Structures are given as structure tokens and as C-alpha cells.
């Protein structure tokens, strides 16, 4: 292998190593939204836009430990803490933001056993993903979605039958609960402009040192 070829490879490797160390480029940071860190409420309230960096359309949150809704999916659907979210009036609900990856969430039927929930992942209005799951009122179901590069999620619930033991509680309805919403938001890390040339210079000097040692061995 010629000395010039070795030099090129060493320089390329040095720059690549510098880029890796600096963390230049897109990285994913996992976040779990539990809905327990929104302002405490006595009943229910819309999830405020900006929570978790998202806009929330027709998503509410409530305290599932309320005795009035014991045995319902609002009670049984809690995964962490007392609060969880749900689709208002049983209607479709939307979560939107910049580009993100939707990893997973726990879903539970609030009133109807055998409730179907279709979750669509969209980017600029085009549906990239769609999955329909069937859930019950008795326990939360962890659903792994793995929707990559979406900017909107649309949740639509339908069907199911209210079990006899919940008739006295109210309903029926196509509300579902959502807890421990897990996502990765794409973050780009860029070094300080004055830092990058200095580090690249160090990398180049290191590559030159290795090359000189190789030349001495060959002489």
C-alpha cells in the first residue's frame, strides 16, 4: 500500500473518529410520558399543548384512583402513578409534533371489553403506519408500535361491549386510556463552531504522526 493511500485512510479515520466523539448527527433520546407530572386536578382536564413537546387534540387526563370509577379501565389502566390520559367522548384523538419515533404505550378500554383501537402514524398527512389492537377493561395492554419518522398519531376507537359489572358505573362508551407513552425525539447535536477546527487539527496531527512512524520503519 502506498504512503499516500495510507495518509488518506488515516486522515479519513481521524475525522470520522472526531465526528463520532462529538456526537454530530441525529440521535434518539427515549422519553416516557406518564401524565403524572401535569398539574393535579380534582376531576378531568384537557392535556395542555406542549406537554412532552406535543400538541394534544381531544386527549384528556384524569386521576384513575377516584372511587367513582373503580373497576373501570380508568382504574385498571394505571401503569405508573394515579394519572392517565383518555380520548374525550370516545371520539378520535390526535398527538402531533415535529418528527419523532413512537415506540410503545399501554392501552386499556375504559368501558367496553373487546374495544378496538386503530392507531395511525402519519407524516405530512400521509399514513405510514396503521395498527388495530383489541383491549379490555380489566388490565392495560402494552403495545409496541415502532412507528419511525412520524409527525402525527391518530387514535380511533370503536366496538366492544360493556360488561355487566360496569353497567352501574355508567357508559357504555368507546373511551380508552393511554399511559406510559414512550417515544424517541430526533435531536441533532452540533459542536461549537470554534471547537470543531481545533479538534480536526488534532486529529490530522495524530494521523501525520502515525504516517511518519510508518515512513521511518520503511526507510
* Whether residues 125 and 74 fall in one domain: yes
Task: Give the model confidence (pLDDT) of 89-145 as tens digits.
Answer: 999 999 999 999 999 999 999 999 999 999 999 999 999 999 999 999 999 999 999
**Containing structural domain, residue 12:** 3-24+200-218
113 shares its domain with 11: no
pLDDT tens sequence across 60-72: 999 999 989 999 9
| CA gap 91, 125 in Å, rounded | 19
- Integer Cα distance of 54 and 33 in angstroms: 11
3 state SS of 80: coil
Per residue in 25-47, pLDDT (tens digit) is 455 679 999 999 999 998 999 99
Kindly report the pTM of this predicted structure.
Answer: 0.75
Residues 146 and 54 in one domain: yes
Q: What's the grid cell of residue 14?
A: 481521524
Q: What is the pLDDT of residue 217?
A: 52
Number of domains the chain is built from: 2
The per-residue pLDDT for 170 is 81
Is the pLDDT score of 169 beyond 90? no
pLDDT of residue 8: 44
Amino acid at each position: 500500500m502506498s504512503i499516500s493511500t495510507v495518509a488518506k485512510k488515516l486522515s479519513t479515520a481521524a475525522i470520522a473518529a472526531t465526528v463520532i466523539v462529538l456526537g454530530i448527527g441525529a440521535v434518539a433520546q427515549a422519553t416516557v410520558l406518564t401524565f403524572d407530572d401535569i398539574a393535579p386536578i380534582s376531576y378531568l382536564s384537557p392535556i395542555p399543548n406542549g406537554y412532552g413537546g406535543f400538541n394534544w387534540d381531544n386527549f384528556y387526563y384524569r386521576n384513575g384512583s377516584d372511587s367513582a370509577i373503580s373497576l373501570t379501565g380508568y382504574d385498571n389502566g394505571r401503569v405508573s402513578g394515579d394519572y392517565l390520559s383518555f380520548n374525550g367522548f370516545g371520539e378520535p384523538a390526535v398527538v402531533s409534533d415535529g418528527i419523532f419515533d413512537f415506540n410503545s404505550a399501554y392501552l386499556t378500554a375504559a368501558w367496553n371489553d373487546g374495544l378496538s383501537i386503530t392507531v395511525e402514524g402519519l407524516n405530512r398527512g400521509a399514513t405510514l403506519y396503521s395498527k388495530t389492537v383489541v383491549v379490555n377493561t380489566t388490565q392495560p395492554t402494552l403495545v409496541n408500535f415502532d412507528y419511525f419518522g412520524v409527525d402525527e398519531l391518530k387514535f380511533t376507537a370503536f366496538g366492544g361491549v360493556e360488561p355487566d359489572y360496569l353497567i352501574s358505573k355508567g357508559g357504555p362508551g368507546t373511551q380508552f386510556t393511554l399511559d406510559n407513552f414512550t417515544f424517541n425525539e430526533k435531536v441533532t447535536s452540533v459542536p461549537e463552531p470554534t471547537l470543531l477546527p481545533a479538534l480536526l487539527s488534532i486529529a490530522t496531527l495524530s494521523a501525520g504522526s502515525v504516517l511518519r512512524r510508518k515512513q521511518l520503519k520503511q526507510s
